[in-house]
Chains A and B, each alone.
Chain A
Amino acid sequence: MGPPSYAGSLQRSWYYGFRVICGLIFIFLIAPILVIIPLSFNAEPYFTFTEGMLTLDPEAFSLRWYEDIIANPQWLHSIKNSLIVGFFATLLATTLGTVAALGLSRPYMPYKQIIMPLLISPMIVPLIISAAAMYFFYSSIGLSQTLPGIILAHTALGTPFVVITVTATLVGFDYSLTRASASLGAPPARTFFKVTMPLILPGMISGGLFAFITSFDEVVVVLFLAGFEQRTIPRQMWAGIREQISPTILAVATLLVMASIVLLVTLELLRRRNERLRGIRA
């Protein structure tokens, strides 16, 4: 490491100066997320570091906000709702999206130029417009303020991610494998589950994760569609920020950061597996 040995003094100072600037930008990116973690262990109901916390006094730290989550039926209910909605929306989105991606990747797919933009439109349309439209639609068929309504809405929002990731995985897919399977007498379903799916599984999982995080993090549609009973975690946080702000939100936020770290690691492992399988890197 370090600047090349032939660099002059101006180049040297630029070399280090540039790294300092980038370091500051990295701090800008990561510091807000890191700051909330210690603050969630605050013993006082404040959003800032108390003197005790700065001197690392164990008295200044506590788990009271985490206990608050467990003791609060509203939070528990919203966690349950988020998981239910996320699970079913992901399941539906991954199934529909993968099947569609298989069709889209076939060489003979007709009208692809028209269909593709339609399928990814839920990702393009600003959420507030989607939310307003869905509010009218689900009210008219009696599905507003129900969990199935939110599940269907989140499925629609999640499918573009599955379509995009699975289509990308299918680029360069060796169709002679499925032909070999078919010529050996396997019916299409068996070919899919035994040959195609193991190969595109990384794409399916990362698409599914995208769909899950879309649902898990989505608040605009929930604001319009959900009643009090259907509040999800982001909806509960929204209420927390707008109405009664308490460090419980920071405890929830910390848990969500932990969840996204797990997610990040999962995706990275999937990416490596995918590269290994396709022989991109030995």
Chain B
Amino acid sequence: MTSTTANDAIIRTAEGVPLKLKLLRTTRRNRIVAFCLVVPLLLFILVTFLVPIAVMLLRSVDNPIVAETLPQTVAALEHWSGQGVPDEAAFAALAEEFTLARENRTIGRAATRLNFELSGMRSLVTSTARTLSRGEQGPYKELLIEIDGRWGEQKTWATIKLIGQRYTTVQYLASFDLHYDAAGRIVAQPEVRQIYVQIFMRTLWVSLLVTVLCLLLGYPVAYLLSTLPSRISNMLMILVLLPFWTSLLVRTTAWIVLLQTHGVINDLLVWAGLIGDESRVQMIYNMTGTIVAMTHILLPFMVLPIYSVMKTISPSHMRAALSLGANPLVAFWRVYAPQTVPGIGAGSILVFIISIGYYITPALVGGRTGQLISNFIAFHMQKSLNWGLAAALGTVLLACVLLLYWLYSRVVGLDKLKLG
């Protein structure tokens, strides 16, 4: 470094670049290299997973069908006060657009969409459109009311106005058993249509029950595994890990085999004379089946985190407590149990998160009474085709799960998420 004079305070590399600058460049290069390694997966997840989810969740507020099928009617209704029935302009626009939509075969979609909000709308819309297509002429107000008296009712028009909005909150209201009444106020759904609050509560309750059952069954097992000599505990660990690695459908099938009315357990009970052949117990295709099968499936998720925490607790703590005169129960409760709390927290949140979004097992063994919120999302996706409602229910479910994960990351740390 001949060029460096004695009073030059800047340290330089062999090439004469100031070291600080060189270090900065190297760090920046390292950051770019590290980021470039992550980019392929990040892009892949964004495109195939995160964006589709965002788009799907937007369907909960996106409401294009009626706005696109009946644009003039919706525009005419904008000036309507919401009292009585709208003026002739709205009736004329409706009649014109019904005829047009019937020709374009888009009337069915609009009718279905309106029917989700007010039952009876489907038949009203399609039959009116059919009559109008015979070439009836105005004045349309009298004509439409003559075709069906419901066109003279305020709530019919209020529904069209409400569902005609391009973006809507009705799906979220519906997720909580609320709706807009004819006057535009948010009120509870009529009692016969109230289901989702009950289903959400049921899902939370089942998740909680399964979590508690898993904890009650998993804690002793984890304790035993962590205190036995490793040769034996490794053998017993197989009994926990084998179910963990066995296909979900296999385990669900196994429970059907065991629990059904002509299944192994009922046969055993009948054979033992505990119950009569006619009074076999219904243990599956109801809530019991869902809870038993879910507890069995999720138990390893509870045992493994608790076990890994218990493994780190030195047995000398308990021995010290006992030698100082504590009663074994007190020693366990005051010395041992508090140290296992992180494991209990990790296992419980994990089990709760998994059960809250559970779909397969309730669908197969839940019968009618054991269905959870996921099953209703699937129903609206596949059967009723009310995708907006499915998306709204999904958003609520996702919000619950993300909240729980946030809790999990505070309690355990996402980077401590371990497998197997």
Given contacts A39-B257, A210-B419, whether A241 and B364 have CB atoms under 8 Å apart is yes
Binary contact readout B394-420 vs A (1 if CB under 8 angstroms, 0 otherwise): 100110011001000000001101111
From B45, B240, B356, A29 is in contact (CB under 8 Å) with B240
Question: Smallest CB–CB gap between A173 and chain B, Å?
Answer: 14
Q: Which of A32, A127, A261 contacts B357 (CB 8 A)?
A: A127
Q: Which of A47-102 contact B (CB under 8 A)?
A: 47-49, 96-97, 99-100, 102
Check if B419 sits within 8 Å of A118, measured CB to CB: no
Contact flag A32-B296 (CB < 8 Å), given A47-B263, A128-B394: yes
Enumerate chain B residues within 8 angstroms of A264, measured Cβ to Cβ: 238, 241-242, 245
Q: Is the CB of B45 within 8 A of A159?
A: yes
On whether the beta carbons of A267 and B242 are closer than 8 Å, the reply is no
Cross-interface CB contact of B417 among A18, A121, A164, cutoff 8 Å: A164
Partner of A108, one of B27, B262, B405: B27
Are A122 and B35 closer than 8 Å at their CB atoms?
no
Q: Is B66 an interface residue (CB 8 A)?
A: no
Assess the B40–A99 pair: CB atoms within 8 A: yes
Q: Give Cα distance in the complex from A106 to B34, angstroms.
A: 6
Q: Evaluate whether A119 and B41 lie within 8 angstroms (CB atoms) in the complex, with A30-B242, A33-B242, A35-B258 already known.
A: yes
Q: Is B197 an interface residue (CB 8 A)?
A: no
Task: Flag whether A126 is at the interface (Cβ < 8 A).
Answer: yes
Q: Tell me if B311 counts as interface (CB < 8 A to partner A).
A: no
Asked whether A43 is an interface residue with its Cβ less than 8 Å from the other chain, the reply is: no
- Within 8 Å by CB of A126, from B48, B238, B251, B397, lies B397
Contact with B along A124-166 (1 / 0, CB 8 A): 1111111011111100000000000000110110010101110
The answer to whether B246 touches A35 (Cβ under 8 A) is: no
Residue pair B243, A30 in contact (C-beta under 8 Å): yes
A109 touches B34 (CB 8 A): yes
Beta-carbon contact of B41 and A35 below 8 Å: no
Which of B52, B224, B247, B257 sits near A234, CB closer than 8 Å? B247
Min CB distance B141 to A, Å, is: 40
Write the nearest CB–CB distance from A209 to chain B, whole angstroms: 9
B56 in the interface (beta carbon within 8 A): yes
Contacts of B50 in A (CB 8 A): 118, 121
Indicate if the CB atoms of B221 and A129 lie closer than 8 Å. Answer: no
How close is B46's CB to chain A, nearest CB, in angstroms?
A: 8
Q: Is the CB of B264 closer than 8 A to any CB of chain A?
A: yes
Give A103's nearest chain B residue, CB to CB: B37
Task: Establish whether residues A256 and B250, one from each chain, have CB atoms under 8 Å apart when the complex forms.
Answer: yes
Give the residues in chain B near A49, CB-CB below 8 Å.
264, 267
Looking at B59, B255, B381, B401, the one whose CB has the most chain A CB atoms below 10 A away is B381
In angstroms, Cα B32 to Cα A103, docked, is 10
Known: A32-B254, A217-B249. A22 touches B41 (CB 8 A): no
- The bracket for how many chain A residues form the interface is 35 or more
Closest to A122 in B: B49
Given contacts A32-B258, A100-B41, A106-B30, contact A164 B419 (CB under 8 A): yes
Q: Which listed residue, A136, A137, A206, A256, touches B247 by the CB 8 Å rule?
A: A256
Q: Tell whether, in the assembled complex, residue B52 and residue A253 are in contact, meaning their CB atoms are under 8 Å apart.
A: no
Q: Which of B255, B377, B401 contacts A132 (CB 8 A)?
A: B377
Collect the chain A residues with CB atoms within 8 Å of residue B57's CB: 133
| Contact indicator A156/B44 (Cβ below 8 Å) | yes
Query: Does any Cβ of A come within 8 Å of B118's Cβ?
Result: no
Contact B381 A224 (CB under 8 A): yes
B224 partner residues in chain A, CB cutoff 8 A: 18-19, 22
Q: Name A110's contact: one of B31, B249, B254, B300 (CB within 8 Å).
A: B31
Interface string of B221-249 (1 = CB under 8 A from A): 10010000000000010111111011111
- CA of A153 to CA of B52 in the docked complex: distance in angstroms? 11
A201 at the interface (CB under 8 A from B): no
Known: A18-B220, A267-B420. A103 touches B36 (CB 8 A): yes
Q: Is B217 an interface residue (CB 8 A)?
A: yes
A242–B252 Cα distance when bound, in Å, is 12
Nearest CB on B from A267, distance (A): 6
Contact indicator per residue, chain B 63-91, by CB within 8 Å of chain A (1) or not (0): 00000000000000000000000000000
B258 engages A124 (CB within 8 Å)? no
B250 and A36 form a contact (CB under 8 A): yes
Contact A32 B255 (CB under 8 A): yes
B253 touches A36 (CB 8 A): yes
Contact A133 B267 (CB under 8 A): no
| Cross-chain contact of A133 among B30, B53, B245, B296 (Cβ < 8 A) | B53
Q: How far is the CB of B264 from chain A (nearest CB, A)?
A: 5
Identify 12 new A-B residue pairs, CB closer than 8 A, beyond the known A121-B45, A261-B242.
A28-B296, A32-B254, A102-B37, A118-B50, A126-B397, A132-B391, A133-B57, A137-B52, A137-B55, A137-B56, A237-B253, A253-B247
Q: List 23 A-B contacts (CB under 8 A).
A: A26-B221, A29-B239, A29-B243, A35-B264, A36-B250, A48-B264, A100-B37, A103-B37, A106-B37, A108-B27, A121-B45, A128-B357, A128-B359, A132-B381, A135-B381, A137-B51, A155-B44, A217-B249, A219-B249, A237-B249, A241-B256, A241-B364, A256-B250
By Cβ-Cβ distance, the 7 closest A-B pairs, closest first, are: A126-B357, A103-B37, A137-B52, A32-B254, A100-B41, A133-B56, A106-B34
